[in-house]
Structure 1
Amino acid sequence: MNLKSLCLGCLCLFTTIVSAQIQDSLFVFSYFKGNGEDGLHLAYSQDGMSWTSLKNDQSFLAPELSPDKLMRDPCIIRGGDGKFHMVWTVSWTQKGIGYASSDDLIHWSKQTYIPVMEHEDHTRNTWAPEITYDEKNNLYMIYWASTITGAFPETQIEADNAYNHRMYYTTTQNFKTFTETQLLYDPGFNCIDATILPYKGKWMMVIKDETREPAAKNLKLAFADELEGPYGEASSPITGDYWAEGPTVMFDKGIWTIYFDKYVDKHYGVIQSNDLKTWKDNSDKLNMPNGIRHGTVLKISKKELAKLMAVKP
């Protein structure tokens, strides 16, 4: 066998291995129920539309942080180190967030409180944190929504308990030391529930317009060249005539899928697109566990799922 044939053979083997890994991918959804008092729930799916709760819909991890001991809005990603990294809302009023890591989504590290807004005396809340991993720079960005009393008076109203959120962030490489908290996005309106992922060498943010008067309560897109921004003007709404929150995004087989909580209607919704311009609402095809609230979707292998399915209530 000559060198050219050997190289072609190696390339074919590599392609086969990668294809097998892709075919081996299934989906898991992290979420909370009620007020988040019992902790982390997980569900799985083979097609992204029909979801089944794991562990008989019992918690995989009980919350330990803050006086409230809540685990709302659990966001899990797979990091550059292969570990699963999770952040969550620990309280309605605390100035920090929760963090833990895991190798298998079953056994978790010690829960850590990250005081991301403790420096700001007038912070009212620290809600719906998420993580995005920048592979090029081996950097994690953690971001969340906070209201700082007196900030952004141009959009301050008394409705919705006078909350007036903007997106803030910090970065880390090890989840032990963090950069100084900074403003991530001020789109000119009350905003919350951002999630960010790579798109064609750039970055795409899905964010909720939280405007109450006149009511928006919809999802929009914004784009940036760098993960830390600046992000451009928010798009027109991509969701319909209903209130939506808590988006999480999956890109699979050329299709963008955004799951979100139709929280007034008390069920989940989903929209899909192949170009980020034309969106189809396929909520009638979506089957989610009862009582599911704000979470995130990610890919796992069949082997990882088998271990999760073996966990008994």
Structure 2
Amino acid sequence: MRNSSCILILCLLLTVPALAQKFPPIYLFSYFKGNGEDGLHLAYSRDGYRYQSLKNDKSFLKPAVGQDKLMRDPCIIRGHDGRFHMVWTVSWKEKSIGYASSDDLIHWSEQQNIPVMAHEEGARNCWAPEITYDASSRQYMIYWSTTITGKFPETQDAAENAYNHRLYYTTTSDFKTYSPTKLLYDPGFNVIDANILPVGDRYVMFMKDETRTPPKKNIRLAFSNSLTGPYDKAGPPITGQYWAEGPTALRLVTPWIVYFDKYQDHTYGAVMSDDLKTWTDVSDKISFPKGARHGTVVNIIQRELDELLKEN
């Protein structure tokens, strides 16, 4: 019942502006530091601009699966069951992703290593998995980027270890059984770091154009009428003349804000829009914990934050 109540409260806050103003949601940012060796870090914000680390910026969960035992690119969502579900990158060169769930973001289930690309002999990696829930089908879609040797030769580049990614996905209703992996999106360029959210009766995908020659390294958008696609042609970049990756989008009471890792500058940036068309850079208005890398945002309520604040 506790989890169902949390979902109801959050739904009301996100859909009724008056309630959102009286009881503003709390934004929880999940991220990693360094190379992801020490695991899951969390920070919170009440305004969507300034994030403060929790547990003195110590890890909430140590990685336990994968060849390299990393916990990079953690993505957390609140499921329709009220539980928090998380996926992450477990290794630089493995054909699997990590998964765990939690009721309170403190105590986590046993970690799983899901072999989503084991069937592809030429698969080189599984990077930056994320989860989006499809209420119409009652299915979760897990999606990530993978390079498969020999695939998509038209965008092959020798630079950066010849990685040439496309986006792939699987669906599940219970995180126990998974549909066969399929291609989600081939935008005609090397693409990583997708983040998909519902917008009205459509879905918007934020992604990184990973093209190296000539360098793009920017964030772009595509839309679809269905979560599993097809997605339309990627739009123009919404970020500037710097290298950006790991976009995660959040809809505040009115505008959209997209955070991203300005990884060459070792800091975080952000852009904002009212219509997903015209974007304004608001990087000077945000703050994240020092050293934060590629994460995602989920809404929580005060009771959940109170428990997180007790951790030290």
On the 8 A contact 1:24/1:302 being kept in 2, the answer is no
On the 8 A contact 1:94/1:126 being kept in 2, the answer is yes
Matches within 5 A, 1:1-313: 20=19, 23-312=23-312
Task: Please give the alpha-carbon distance, in whole angstroms, between the structure 1 residues aligned to 2:165 and 2:86.
Answer: 22
On the 8 A contact 1:92/1:127 being kept in 2, the answer is yes
Give the superposition deviation at 1:287: 1.0
Give the superposition deviation at 1:285: 1.1
Q: Per the alignment, do residues 240 and 21 of structure 1 end up closer, same or farther by CA in structure 2, a change over 3 Å counting?
A: closer
Q: What is the total number of aligned residue pairs between the two structures?
A: 298
Give the superposition deviation at 1:146: 0.2
Divergent runs of 4+, >3 A: 15-22
Task: Please give the alpha-carbon distance, in whole angstroms, between the structure 2 residues aligned to 1:254 and 1:216.
Answer: 30
Give the superposition deviation at 1:21: 6.9
Task: Please give the alpha-carbon distance, in whole angstroms, between the structure 2 residues aligned to 1:278 and 1:271.
Answer: 10
Task: Please give the alpha-carbon distance, in whole angstroms, between the structure 2 residues aligned to 1:24 and 1:225.
Answer: 30
On the 8 A contact 2:165/2:191 being kept in 1, the answer is yes
Amino acid at match of 2:204: M
Amino acid at match of 2:30: S
Give the superposition deviation at 1:206: 0.3
Amino acid at match of 2:143: Y
Larger Rg computed on CA atoms:
1
Give the superposition deviation at 1:20: 4.7
Give the superposition deviation at 1:230: 0.3
On the 8 A contact 1:30/1:41 being kept in 2, the answer is yes
Q: Which runs of 5+ in 2 are unaligned?
A: 1-11
Task: Please give the alpha-carbon distance, in whole angstroms, between the structure 1 residues aligned to 2:54 and 2:130.
Answer: 22
Give the superposition deviation at 1:67: 2.2
Task: Please give the alpha-carbon distance, in whole angstroms, between the structure 2 residues aligned to 1:100 and 1:274.
Answer: 34
On the 8 A contact 1:220/1:238 being kept in 2, the answer is yes
- TM-score normalised per structure 2: 0.93
Give the superposition deviation at 1:24: 4.5
Q: What per-residue deviation string (whole Å, max 9, x for no partner) do you get for residues 33-67 of structure 1? A: 00000000000011111111000000000000012
SS of 2:82 mapped into structure 1: coil
Matched residue, 2:9: none
SS of 1:284 mapped into structure 2: helix
Matched residue, 1:6: none
